[in-house]
């Protein structure tokens, strides 16, 4: 029997690898939502990628029924959200559909930088936050210290924090009792008698049923055969099915105010089911849409090309389908002389870029080539015009530029004090960052605050930080605006032909060092040909670094077993002429690895 007073909607927020998905496994077992024979570890991580990497990429809604200790039945809608910094937008979308949030912290690792960010996201949404310390069964668990950290950094009272083990199930029922007690029912945000108002917080493409819309109903009711209207696109559809996630998709009669579920309405066009849109009744629409999400802007751009030109259209369709349940993905067509037709794609970070590439290869069976990522720069020209640069090939010639601006971000690193010196050196000396101050974060933790160019942290900063801190440090960053900087473009010429896909923008002080490393790396990555191949780095009107790939030589003197030396000289001269002609007309085949050479230039140092 539907009663909104006995519904609770909560999201689980935590840093990567703090046990969110394992906790969901125990909740599913405890509430008998799944048969024992169908149960498997990381049940909600449906993608192979999620299981392999041990991370959550997509948020997963689940409806469970729980009988409290007082004997009352409750309906709990729980959303398992991603923990990595690149997927913060997924978390923000899930939080908009809930009234409460479980803040899960690993007792062996303590509060991490991303935990703090996600908690502030929850506070912005006016959610009731329930603290939970996980992994208390491990010998290395430091529960008391973690309690103090949560209290210091987040402000949750230590007495109200639940101690659990998602692996063994200890404390999980106490956590569910606390959700029932503390999280308010959804009745305050709308009732079943109001006009239909439902928020689209996610969507998925199904080749048989069209687009499946994940929704949270704030007011009114939606049922089969209703005519619904998407307010942003002004498109109306007839509902063919509504249902809930229990944890698989289960069809029900209707979805009412306060419930989370899905709607199928034969939607074929991907653009018409926008995440953040409001669904209302087409015959009796609501006056005002729900507040949507803030637009997520990509941080990093890279070129994405099909392995073979004839798969360009397949790649476009694959990107469109991925964009449906990944609102942050932005792509525009582009053409490169070296790689042909492809797309300039915007990502939230390097992990996001890697995941999108892997999903295209696995889910759509397409081979793709990815170029070196770059951030968005602004350039002010001498004629007063300001242009946005998402691709190094758009960077104007130096004589037309008055000033160039690059994005800066506020970087916070939480680390044990013994790694402070190395991390400050990494951010300040190696990565052009500015150290601001250090603050305390509990008994054995400090927070280092920096302002740093975004371009410096999108490549290998995270890996180097983890290596220097033996895995203990964690980071979080947010964009703070643009600042003037001395930036130059370096173009790479291979066999005297410019390769746009290898161009990149760099700070003037690092231009020679990176150009030298890059041409040397390309020399190792590009296979030898029948002719000599020069690799040149060109900057500000001159060549600043060069490397040469020697030609593969055939021993033309092999058949000379004696005779006059002039005969040998004639054969060598003939070979030389042939090599020269071949170099002029020959094409250099550049492997995929060469386009990511910039990411690998520090491999030998490491």
CA angle at residue 285 from 282 to 287, to 5 degrees?
Answer: 155
| Phi and psi, residue 257, nearest 5° | -50, 130
User: Band of the pLDDT at 523, cuts 50, 70, 90?
Assistant: confident
The DSSP element (H or E) to which 506 belongs, if any, is strand 504-507
* 77-94: average pLDDT: 67
Average pLDDT of the chain? 79
Dist CA 597 CA 599 (whole Å):
5
Question: 181-193 burial, b if ≥16 CB within 10 A, otherwise e?
Answer: eebebbeebbebe
Looking at residue 452, its pLDDT comes to 92
Strand partners, 9: 77
User: Band of the pLDDT at 50, cuts 50, 70, 90?
Assistant: very low
Model pLDDT for residues 372-416, shown as the tens digit of each residue = 778 888 888 888 888 888 778 888 888 888 899 998 989 888 888
CA distances from 330 to 137, 301, 327, 344, 524 (A): 43, 9, 8, 8, 33
Looking at residue 67, its pLDDT comes to 87
Longest Cα–Cα distance of the chain, Å, equals: 108
**Contact by Cβ (8 Å): 18, 110:** no
Model confidence, pTM: 0.68
pLDDT at position 570 over 80: no
**Contact by Cβ (8 Å): 593, 524:** no
Looking at residue 105, its pLDDT comes to 87
Dist CA 15 CA 104 (whole Å):
8
Model pLDDT for residues 114-135, shown as the tens digit of each residue = 677 777 778 877 888 888 888 8
Looking at residue 450, its pLDDT comes to 93
Model pLDDT for residues 218-271, shown as the tens digit of each residue = 888 888 888 888 887 788 888 898 988 887 788 888 888 888 889 998 887 766
pLDDT at position 562 over 80: no
Looking at residue 54, its pLDDT comes to 47
pLDDT at position 504 over 70: yes
**Contact by Cβ (8 Å): 407, 482:** yes
Dist CA 176 CA 160 (whole Å):
13
Dist CA 275 CA 323 (whole Å):
10
Token pair recorded at residue 170: 């200890």
Dist CA 403 CA 121 (whole Å):
35
To the nearest whole percent, how much of the chain has pLDDT over 90?
Answer: 2
The DSSP element (H or E) to which 170 belongs, if any, is none
Query: For the chain, how big is the Rg over CA atoms in Å?
Result: 28
Q: What is the three-state SS of 524-554?
A: HHCCCCCCCEEEEEEECCEEEEEEEECCCCC
Q: How many CB atoms lie within 10 A of CB 161?
A: 21
Dist CA 19 CA 207 (whole Å):
33
Token pair recorded at residue 228: 């619904």
- Per DSSP, helices labelled H in 60-141 are 88-96, 113-124
CA neighbor of 116 nearest in space, from 91, 80, 142: 91
pLDDT at position 49 over 60: no
The DSSP element (H or E) to which 185 belongs, if any, is none
* Chain centroid, CA 264 distance in Å: 27
Question: 564-573 burial, b if ≥16 CB within 10 A, otherwise e?
Answer: eeeeeeeeee
């Amino acid at each position: 029997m539907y009663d909104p007073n006995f519904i609770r909607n909560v999201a689980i927020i935590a840093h990567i690898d703090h046990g969110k998905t394992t906790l969901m496994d125990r909740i599913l077992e405890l509430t008998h939502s799944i048969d024992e024979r169908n149960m498997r570890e990381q049940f909600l991580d449906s993608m192979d990628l999620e299981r392999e990497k041990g991370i959550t990429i997509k948020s997963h809604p689940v409806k469970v029924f729980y009988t409290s200790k007082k004997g009352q039945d409750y309906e709990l809608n729980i959303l398992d959200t991603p923990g990595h910094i690149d997927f913060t937008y997924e978390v923000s979308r899930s939080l908009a559909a809930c009234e409460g949030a479980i803040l899960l912290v690993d007792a062996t690792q303590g509060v991490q930088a991303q935990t703090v960010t996600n908690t502030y996201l929850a506070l912005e949404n006016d959610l009731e936050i329930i603290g939970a310390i996980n992994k208390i069964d491990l010998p290395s668990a430091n529960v008391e210290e973690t309690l103090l950290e949560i209290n210091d950094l987040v402000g949750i009272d230590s007495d109200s924090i639940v101690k659990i083990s998602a692996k063994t199930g200890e404390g999980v029922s106490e956590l569910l009792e606390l959700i029932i007690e503390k999280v308010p029912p959804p009745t305050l945000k709308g009732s079943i008698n109001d006009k239909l108002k439902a928020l689209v917080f996610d969507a998925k493409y199904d080749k048989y049923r069209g687009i499946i819309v994940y929704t949270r109903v704030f007011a009114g009711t939606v049922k089969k055969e209703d005519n619904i209207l998407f307010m942003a696109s002004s498109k109306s559809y007839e509902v063919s099915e509504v249902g809930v996630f229990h944890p698989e998709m289960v069809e029900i009669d209707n979805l009412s105010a306060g419930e989370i579920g899905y709607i199928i309405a034969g939607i074929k066009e991907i653009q018409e089911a926008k995440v953040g849109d409001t669904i209302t009744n087409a015959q009796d629409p609501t006056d005002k849409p729900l507040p949507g999400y803030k637009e997520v802007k990509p941080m990093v751009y890279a070129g994405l090309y099909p392995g073979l030109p004839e798969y360009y259209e397949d790649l476009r369709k694959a990107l469109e389908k991925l964009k449906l349940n990944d609102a942050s993905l932005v792509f525009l067509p582009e053409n490169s002389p070296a790689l042909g037709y492809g797309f300039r794609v915007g990502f939230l970070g390097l992990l996001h870029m890697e995941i999108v590439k892997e999903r295209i290869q696995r889910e759509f069976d397409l081979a793709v080539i990815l170029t070196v990522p770059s951030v968005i720069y602004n350039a002010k020209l001498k004629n007063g015009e300001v242009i946005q640069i998402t691709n190094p090939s758009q960077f104007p010639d130096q004589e037309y530029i008055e000033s160039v601006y690059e994005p800066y971000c506020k970087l916070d690193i939480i680390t044990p004090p013994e790694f402070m010196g190395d991390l400050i050196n990494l951010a300040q000396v190696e990565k052009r960052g500015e150290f601001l101050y250090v603050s305390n974060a509990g008994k054995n933790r400090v927070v280092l605050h920096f302002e740093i160019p975004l371009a410096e942290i999108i490549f290998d900063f995270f890996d180097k930080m983890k290596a220097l801190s033996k895995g203990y440090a964690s980071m979080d960053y947010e964009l703070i605006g643009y600042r003037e900087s001395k930036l130059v473009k370096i173009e790479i010429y291979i066999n005297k032909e410019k390769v746009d896909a290898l161009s990149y923008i760099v700070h003037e002080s690092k231009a020679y060092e990176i150009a030298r490393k890059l041409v040397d790396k390309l020399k190792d990555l590009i296979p030898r040909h029948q002719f000599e191949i020069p690799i040149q780095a060109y900057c500000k009107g001159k060549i600043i670094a060069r490397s040469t790939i020697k030609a593969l030589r055939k021993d033309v003197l092999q058949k000379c077993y004696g005779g006059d030396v002039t005969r040998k000289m004639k054969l060598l001269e003939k070979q030389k002429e042939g090599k020269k002609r071949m170099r002029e007309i020959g094409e250099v085949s550049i492997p995929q690895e060469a386009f990511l050479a910039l990411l690998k230039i520090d491999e030998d140092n490491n």
